[in-house]
Structure 1
Amino acid sequence: MNDAALAHTLAEQAGQLLLRLRARMPEAGKALGNEGDRLANALILDRLRAERPDDAILSEEEKDDASRCAFARIWVIDPLDGTREYTEGRDDWAVHVALAIDGVPSVGAVALPALGLVLSSDAPPPLSSEANPLRMLVSRTRPAAEALSVAETLGATLLPMGSAGAKAMAVVRGEADIYLHTGGQYEWDNCAPAAVAIAAGLHVSRVDGSPLVYNCANPWLPDLLICHKARAPQVLDLVRALTPAQNPG
């Protein structure tokens, strides 16, 4: 099984496990989220260790090991992205399985289990045209001020949504046009979504326009922009205008 097929299979299987678990524990709340994280993480990591024993792994649910930085290939895993949405019975949560090679998000699969979908970097859907007015994704619980300001300037409609993976895949699927995030994330929050979005032909970067780089000693990767390539310069300029100038002194 090649890397893309493995990522797709693991994301799909973990998603199916999470659906079965939620059906058995529909009112469990935080306990459901904790058990979902644990079981999905174990499923993915057990298979990776068997199938790719020479690769490193970075997972939200595992203690980080700095020795991973010496590896060119690292699997970046979020076994349950959007735990709140998962425990609330919503469908905007995801499973992320990605492979970064030399810091680049090279292979990725994002499962949207409640929708019965897995989107992967080896077979992304064709891009849709932007809508008019534009549609901008924001956090359903804590929308970032920068995203709200950019949306207002662009006259964009706000689309509140849960997990990072669900938001990124909404752009890939043509259900939204811009995902601008400045509220803080880690590598596991965006590696698989970035790989799929890049493969689909979208612009993917930090909000200063620089590339997303993975397998850093500190996995904090706080911001990103996913949108159509022709729209990116305008959005990046708007974000720069909101950023206070640095005092050279």
Structure 2
Amino acid sequence: MSGFTDGDLAARLADEAGRILLQVRSSGLFSGKSLGKAGDQTANQFLCHALREQRPLDGLLSEEEKDSPARLGKERVWIVDPVDGTREYGEERADWAVHVGLAVEGVPVLGAVALPGLGEVLRSDQPRAIPSAPDILRMVVSRTRPAREATGVAEIIGAQLVPMGSAGAKAMAILRGEADIYLHSGGQYEWDSCAPAAVALGWGLHVSRIDGTPLEYNQADVYMPDLLICRKEHAEMVLREVAALA
């Protein structure tokens, strides 16, 4: 292993990948879907090469890399999403992210989420105080297809809907004090939530499936049906209302 701690490595990788993505976008050489593809592939090459150099004995799962069953035999597996929110990245919005997470025996123990459009990297091992929740709670939902459970629970508890792009941006909005609840039931993959879940856990938030069970990573099937990230004091209420909607 290199001189980097896991936390420093995750943060450095997420930050540098974000810088690369901004350079690709500002080059003026790509537009539309080709910009998203160029950004995804360029950042993925950087992340995967760097992880194999720095942590050669660990497993690796990336959205943009062909999956290998070899990772299933590894205790430590890095799970990365080079561009979480490719659409938002291509539209030059700020609500996209770079995810670098580490799962140990299936548990998201460490991660960093870069928000390059905001010039910020949030890491699981450097938590800060989260602003207090307002009287009217705010629930982040998809810009294009808000989940039925999320809109239903928001209506019941009187929460304000906050449309936002990528999964990482939604999760980090809670840490940044811009939202209070992230309830997703439309299906994701491990790379969509591993790093955000690790950071949220490191900052003391509640993280689970929408039935209250823990999230499990480095599975043979990387599909993850749902996710809840919120302050611990809101978790019981949200889980109860989700169950009532089922």
After TM superposition, the score normalised by the length of structure 2 is: 0.97
SS of 1:231 mapped into structure 2: helix
SS of 2:61 mapped into structure 1: strand
- The residue number in structure 1 matching 2:243 is 240
How far did 1:29 drift?
0.7
How far did 1:158 drift?
0.6
Amino acid at match of 2:21: L
How far did 1:25 drift?
2.9
Are 1:5 and 2:8 matched, yes or no? Answer: yes
Are 1:96 and 2:99 matched, yes or no? Answer: yes
Displaced runs of 4 or more, over 4 A: none
Amino acid at match of 1:165: G
Are 1:172 and 2:175 matched, yes or no? Answer: yes
Check whether the contact 1:97–1:109 (CA below 8 A) recurs between aligned residues: yes
Alignment of 1:51-200 (within 5 A): 51-200=54-203
Amino acid at match of 1:95: V
How far did 1:207 drift?
0.2
Are 1:226 and 2:229 matched, yes or no? Answer: yes
Gaps of 5+ in 2: none
**2: CA distance, partners of 1:26 / 1:88:** 15
How many equivalent residue pairs?
243
**2: CA distance, partners of 1:47 / 1:172:** 28
- The residue number in structure 2 matching 1:246 is none
Amino acid at match of 1:160: P
**2: CA distance, partners of 1:25 / 1:137:** 32
Are 1:20 and 2:14 matched, yes or no? Answer: no
Are 1:47 and 2:64 matched, yes or no? Answer: no
**1: CA distance, partners of 2:55 / 2:21:** 23
Gaps of 5+ in 1: 244-249
**Percent identity, aligned pairs only?**
60
Check whether the contact 1:125–1:173 (CA below 8 A) recurs between aligned residues: no
The Cα RMSD (Å) is 0.9
How far did 1:67 drift?
2.0
- The residue number in structure 2 matching 1:212 is 215
